[in-house]
Structure formats: structure tokens, C-alpha cells
Chain A
Amino acid sequence: MTVGLGAYLTLAAVLFAIGFFGVVTRRNTIGILLGIELMLNAVNINLVAFARFNADVVGMIFTTFTIPITVAEVALGLAIVILIFRTKRTAIADHLDILRG
């Protein structure tokens, strides 16, 4: 039995939704970062799936760029979280509202 494009896209969509759910509901900033990772990987799956089924390597090339950028982003994000924790003694997103209007 062959697995079609639709299955990959569904997986990616489910993964994206889970990641988005995590981003908007987690109170911990690290949890939010994890959610963002899930969303990015859902996009990666989409890119690879389209590359595979359309016999086009551009998607693959994109993915090879996205993965290291994701890594860098996580490193940066965690560093920011640590800095915020040092100054504010908290990592809860709801407490970080100094830009409130």
C-alpha cells in the first residue's frame, strides 16, 4: 500500500495544529518555544512531501536551510528566556506584559 500526498499533508496539518495549540495555551515560555518547533517541523514535512511527490528538489533544499535556522532560533530563544528569567525571576508568558497599552 502506497502512502499518498494527502496523508503527509494531514500529518503536517495535525502537527501544525498541535504546535499552534501549544503556542497559544502554554503559560511557560519554554513550552511556547517547543510549540513553535512543532509548527516549523510541520512546515518541513510539507516541503519534503511536496518535493518528493513533484520530483522537485527545491523543497529539499529549503528544508536543509530551515533545520539549521530552527536550531539557531531555538538557541537564541532559550538564551532570551534565561535572560528574562534572570531579570524578572519568572518565565511565565502572562507576566511578561510590560508593552501593555
Chain B
Amino acid sequence: MTDPALPALAALLLPAAAFLILALAGPLRRLGRPAAYLSIVFSAVALVAAIGAFRLAGAAGYSAWVWSWIPAEAGPLATVGVMADGDSALMLVLVALVSFLVQVYSLGYLSDESMPSLGRYYTYQSLFAFSMMGLVLAPNFVQLFICWELVGLCSYLLIGYWYTRPEAARAAVKAFWITKAADIGMLIGIVLLWRQTGTFDFLELLQLVDAGALPLAGLGVITFCIYLGASGKSAQFPFHIWLPDAMEGPTPVSALIHAATMVTAGVYLLTRTVWLFRLTPDVMQIIAWNGAFTALLAAVLACVQSDIKRVLAYSTVSQLGYMMAAIGAGFASAGFLHLLTHGIFKALLFLGAGAVIHAVGANDIFAMGGLRRRMPQTFIVFLVGTLSLAGIPLFGGFFSKEEILGAVLVGGFPVPFAMLLLGAFLTAFYMFRVIFIAFFGAPAASHGAGDHHVHDAPPFMALPLWILAVMSVGLGVGFVAWHPKAEFEALGWVTYAAVGVAVAGIALAYLVYERRAISADALATAFAPIRAAALRRFWIDDLFAGIYRWLMLPFSSLVGWIDRYFVDGILNVLSAWTLSAGSAIRRIQSGRAQDYVYGIALGVLLLMVWIRWPR
């Protein structure tokens, strides 16, 4: 067995099987725990298969198994299948790993749920794992788009998992709407691309690009449309507003979908088709600038949040901006590397935050405080995740973030580079703000008083945390020992600058929130306008709400009025006429046989006259 497509296909089909079993066998699903064990076992086997695919893909280059689908006159219009190569197999391992760990973790996190509800959760989880793997392994745009929508659906279902809470239901609908709006752009882009080239297939498109046979006219519109879809899924400005609200879902869901895998699908798509985007430098410029802008904007927003999950959500938006910026600068591999490391340490951070929330019973960091002594294990793993995110050497995020910074600078974007550097400073600041407020200092009064026993996570939850923490450190140390070859010659001082701003951010957070040498209030007044704007989320949510309320709603009520009174009106008048004509004509049917005889005689007479009429 040397074909990586075989284990990749197995990894893809195992969660699908788990989903089908749980979806069809209602009694099993309602049992809850057995359903969870089934889903976990299937995802564990899928993880093994994914690792197998990755090992084989390293040796075999790439391998695509496709089956024809949508038959048409000149060969099948589209195909489905798996394409296993280095990138997709690596991504597959990440998806399978985080999915498996999150499913194990959820057993502890959702232990208070009712059993049918737990079964429903694991059904969605299996569907998500299948959809995401289908997206990762897609050999063409059609399968990718279908799986793209499927993961969007899973995101919607899982954000709204506690659907009885109005905020969760509203957040689910918001996420669905915003990503759908962006996906329309992507669909248009895919169809336009097909019209220009006649194929959806990645390999055929790549061959066209290599041969220089792809017409460049209008390609910018196509790539921009595809980028729109990617920016919706990957929460880039201005579509980033759905991600913080998506935190209404259970925390493990946030870790899996809204940090490690689904939101990175946009970055993955751009990495996958970067040869297409390279043909349109204008769009690449937009991607780089918008990525850097998103990174900075979200970092500023994260500094004023008090909900631990929202801090992490904005940090995810910010890190996605870093990845996009690297891709826009022309170095997709740097972005992809950050995607992988970010997937590990952000899942770790979310799961750690979940452990804290589970123990404290609140999301507000000011309601925590002093957790370092009460939850030492959680503190250590959370600190590892934070150091990785801040980009401290020997931790997971250091190398990839430094590479992104170098890539953006070498790619010829000095201003975005400065924005990203400032973003890195803010990243270190807001993450250590959380650390110092939540884990250091005095215990907050709300949980200090014995009625709520705060303790470390149970083994089911602790095990995934430790695995991810060890991997974060392992990646960081591994990158030092085995330096992945960069596509470019990085400038030496970028490393020092990156580490410098991270340490400066940590130091500032230390001085403000631990030492209190600088008053947080003084800092707030110094940056009062930015702070006020950030607390209003820079009015971007209001802008969307305004567009909806003042543009979409009047328009749709106008359309509704036309439909109700004009289109329906015509039909109503016609049917009313038919009815009144019927009630007028019914008098002809008198029920008396003699009247009918009259009628027949008259008819025969008319016929005779007509026949005999002189012409």
C-alpha cells in the first residue's frame, strides 16, 4: 500500500459512516454516551488513517482518486474524489487530530447535557469532521464548494447548539447569513472560472496555468470573487463580525470550528489555489492589505474585551489576517505553516478557556482572578498556548509568525509589515492581559466563597489539553532543530523585532495588570477615542445592521408589496372573475329535462343553418 489516497479516503469516510449511523439510528443517538463513544472511536481511526496518508504522501508526491459525477455530453461536468498531497494530507492530520481531541474533551465539558442532546452534538461533530475532510481533500472547486457549505451548516448547527438561548440562535443565524453572503461571491467566481476554462479541476487548472493557456482578461474579477468567499469563511474585514458572536456555541465547538479548522478553510483554499491568484497581482495586493488591516483591527478589538472567549475569537480573526497577509505577499507556505501551528495552539487556548469556564461558570475574565493556584494544570497549558500565540521563541507560533512577518516585508509591503508588527505587540499585550487578570491577582469575590468549588479539569478534558500543549512546545523546539526551508531570504533583524515587540507587549501587560505601575484607567483615557470606538466594534456591526435595516428590509418589503398586491392581485382578479362567471352560468343548468331538449333542438337547428348557410 503506497497510495496516500487510500488512507485519505478511509479518513474521509469514517466520520461519514459515524454520522450516518448516528443520524439514522435514532435510539442509539438518544442514548448519548454510546453515541459519543462511537463517534470518538471512528474519529480516532480516522486520525490513524490521516497520519498514514500523511506518511505516504510525503513519499508519493500527490495522488488523486476521482470518480466522474454530473454526466454531460462532452465528458463529466464535475468529479468527486480525494486528492492527497503533502499540503492536504498535513491539513487532514490537523483536522482529524483536533476533531478527535475535541470530541474526547467534549465528553467532560458537556457532561451536564441531557443524553439526547449529547447524541445530537456528536452527530453534528461527525458530520463536521466528514465535511471538513471532504473540503481538505477536494480535487476540484465543486466538491470544495459543497463541503464548504456543509461545514458552514455544521457551524450554524453547533453555534446554535443551545438553541433555546436567544443569543445563541441569533449568533447562529448571523454566522450563517454573513458567510452565505460572502459565499455568493465565491459561487460566482467558480462559475465564471468554469466559463473561462471549462473545468473545475485543480490539476487541470494548474496545467493550464503552467502552460500559460489561461486567458488573463477578467481573471481578476474571478479571483476576487473567490477571495470574497474565502474572506467570509476566514472572517476577514468586513466579514469578521460573525466570528465573535459565534462564541455563543459550546467552547469545544469554538476550538474545533471557529479556531482550528473551519475558519482556516479560506486560508487553505487560497494556499491551494495560490498559482491562480499569482496571475492577478492586484487581487494579491488587496489580500495582503486587507489581511494586515484585519490583523490590526481585530487585535485592537481584542484589547477591550472582557469575555475570555471573545478575546480568543478576535485573536483568531487577527491571526487569520496574518495568514492572509502572508498569502497576499506571495508566500503561501508561510501562511499555511501559521495555519497549522495556529490550529494547534488556538485549539489549546480555547480548550483551556473551556476548562476555566467549566470550573468558574462564567466567561468574564474579571470574575476569575487567582486561578493559577486553583487550576495549576490549566494555567500551565494556557500559558503555553499564550506564549505560542505571542510568538515567543521555542513555542509553536514563534517561527511561523516570524516567517509571516519576513514574508510580508520581503514581498514588498512595508506598511502592512508595520501593521502586523504592531498587531504582534497587541497580541502579546491582550493575551497576557487575560493571563494576569484571570490567573494572577486575588481571587474574585464571586467564586472565592466556597459555594463554587473551582478545580482543575477532569481527565477527559485534561488529556487533550496536555497533548496539545506538548505539541505546541514540540513544534516550537522542533522548528529550531529542524528548520523548515523558507521560500525567501529572511532579513535577520525581523526575528529580533518580532521577539522584541512580543516581549514589550508582555511587559506592558505585566506593568498594567500585575504590577499596576501604569494604571489601566490612565491607559484607557490615553487611548479614549480608540477605546470607545473599539467598544462599539468600530461600528462595523452597526453598519451591517444599518444596511440590513435601512436597505434590505425596505427593499424586501417593497418586493413583498409588489408580490402581494401586484402579482397576487392579477391572479386574484382572474380567479374572482372565473368564480362570478361560473355562478352566472350555473343558472343554465336548470335540472329540467325539457329545457335540455330545447337546448339540443336549438343546437341542431343552428348546426343546420350553419351547414346550409350560403357561402
Residues on A facing B (Cβ under 8 Å): 20, 23-24, 32, 93-94, 96-101
Is the C-beta of B511 less than 8 angstroms from some C-beta in chain A? no
Q: How far is the CB of A94 from chain B (nearest CB, A)?
A: 6
**Is A32 in contact with B589, judged by CB distance below 8 angstroms?**
no
Is the C-beta of B111 less than 8 angstroms from some C-beta in chain A? no
Other A-B contacts than A24-B598, A100-B590, A100-B591, 20 sampled, CB-CB below 8 A, are: A23-B594, A24-B594, A24-B597, A24-B601, A32-B594, A93-B592, A93-B593, A93-B594, A94-B592, A94-B594, A96-B591, A96-B593, A97-B591, A98-B591, A99-B591, A101-B586, A101-B587, A101-B588, A101-B589, A101-B590
Smallest CB gap from B590: residue in A: A100
Q: How far is the CA of A20 from the CA of B602 in the complex (A)?
A: 12
Q: List 25 A-B contacts (CB under 8 A).
A: A20-B601, A23-B594, A23-B597, A24-B594, A24-B597, A24-B601, A32-B594, A93-B593, A93-B594, A94-B592, A94-B594, A96-B591, A96-B592, A96-B593, A97-B590, A98-B591, A99-B589, A99-B591, A100-B590, A100-B592, A101-B586, A101-B588, A101-B589, A101-B590, A101-B591
Q: How far is the CB of B599 from chain A (nearest CB, A)?
A: 10
Q: How far is the CB of A19 from chain B (nearest CB, A)?
A: 11
- Majority-rule SS of B interface residues: helix
Total A-B Cβ pairs within 8 A:
33
Q: Provide the residues of chain B in CB contact with A32, threshold 8 Å.
A: 593-594
Q: Provide the residues of chain A in CB contact with B592, threshold 8 Å.
A: 93-94, 96-97, 100
Q: Provide the residues of chain B in CB contact with A101, threshold 8 Å.
A: 586-591
Q: Mask for B338-382, Cβ within 8 A of A = 1, else 0?
A: 000000000000000000000000000000000000000000000
Q: Provide the residues of chain B in CB contact with A98, threshold 8 Å.
A: 591
Q: How far is the CA of A98 from the CA of B597 in the complex (A)?
A: 17
B572-609 with Cβ < 8 A to chain A = 586-594, 597-598, 601
Q: How far is the CB of A98 from chain B (nearest CB, A)?
A: 6
Q: How far is the CA of A99 from the CA of B596 in the complex (A)?
A: 12
Q: How far is the CA of A77 from the CA of B598 in the complex (A)?
A: 20
**Is B589 in contact with A100, judged by CB distance below 8 angstroms?**
yes
Smallest CB gap from B588: residue in A: A101
Q: How far is the CB of B590 from chain A (nearest CB, A)?
A: 6
Q: How far is the CA of A101 from the CA of B586 in the complex (A)?
A: 5
Q: How far is the CA of A94 from the CA of B589 in the complex (A)?
A: 13
Q: Mask for B462-495, Cβ within 8 A of A = 1, else 0?
A: 0000000000000000000000000000000000
Q: How far is the CA of A98 from the CA of B591 in the complex (A)?
A: 6
Q: Provide the residues of chain B in CB contact with A23, threshold 8 Å.
A: 594, 597
Q: How far is the CA of A22 from the CA of B587 in the complex (A)?
A: 25
Q: How far is the CB of B494 from chain A (nearest CB, A)?
A: 93
B214-232 with Cβ < 8 A to chain A = none
Instruction: Please list the 6 inter-chain residue pairs (A to B) with the smallest Cβ-Cβ separation, ordered nearest first.
Output: A100-B591, A101-B589, A97-B591, A99-B591, A101-B586, A97-B592
Q: Provide the residues of chain A in CB contact with B589, threshold 8 Å.
A: 99-101
Q: Provide the residues of chain B in CB contact with A100, threshold 8 Å.
A: 589-592
Q: How far is the CA of A32 from the CA of B598 in the complex (A)?
A: 13
Q: How far is the CB of B440 from chain A (nearest CB, A)?
A: 91
Q: How far is the CA of A65 from the CA of B592 in the complex (A)?
A: 30
Q: How far is the CA of A10 from the CA of B570 in the complex (A)?
A: 58
Smallest CB gap from B589: residue in A: A101
Smallest CB gap from B583: residue in A: A101
Q: How far is the CA of A32 from the CA of B588 in the complex (A)?
A: 21
Smallest CB gap from B586: residue in A: A101
Q: How far is the CA of A97 from the CA of B596 in the complex (A)?
A: 12
Q: How far is the CB of A53 from chain B (nearest CB, A)?
A: 23
Q: How far is the CB of B612 from chain A (nearest CB, A)?
A: 16
Q: Mask for B311-325, Cβ within 8 A of A = 1, else 0?
A: 000000000000000
Q: How far is the CB of A56 from chain B (nearest CB, A)?
A: 25
B136-187 with Cβ < 8 A to chain A = none
Q: Provide the residues of chain A in CB contact with B588, threshold 8 Å.
A: 101
Q: How far is the CB of A16 from chain B (nearest CB, A)?
A: 11
Q: How far is the CB of B586 from chain A (nearest CB, A)?
A: 4
Q: How far is the CA of A101 from the CA of B587 in the complex (A)?
A: 6
Q: How far is the CA of A23 from the CA of B601 in the complex (A)?
A: 11
Smallest CB gap from A95: residue in B: B592
Q: Provide the residues of chain A in CB contact with B590, threshold 8 Å.
A: 97, 100-101
Q: How far is the CB of A30 from chain B (nearest CB, A)?
A: 14
Q: How far is the CA of A32 from the CA of B146 in the complex (A)?
A: 77
Q: How far is the CA of A96 from the CA of B589 in the complex (A)?
A: 13
Q: Provide the residues of chain A in CB contact with B591, threshold 8 Å.
A: 96-101
Smallest CB gap from A20: residue in B: B601
Q: Provide the residues of chain B in CB contact with A97, threshold 8 Å.
A: 590-592
Q: Provide the residues of chain A in CB contact with B598, threshold 8 Å.
A: 24
Q: How far is the CA of A32 from the CA of B597 in the complex (A)?
A: 11
Q: Provide the residues of chain B in CB contact with A96, threshold 8 Å.
A: 591-593
Q: How far is the CA of A30 from the CA of B146 in the complex (A)?
A: 79
Q: How far is the CA of A38 from the CA of B598 in the complex (A)?
A: 17
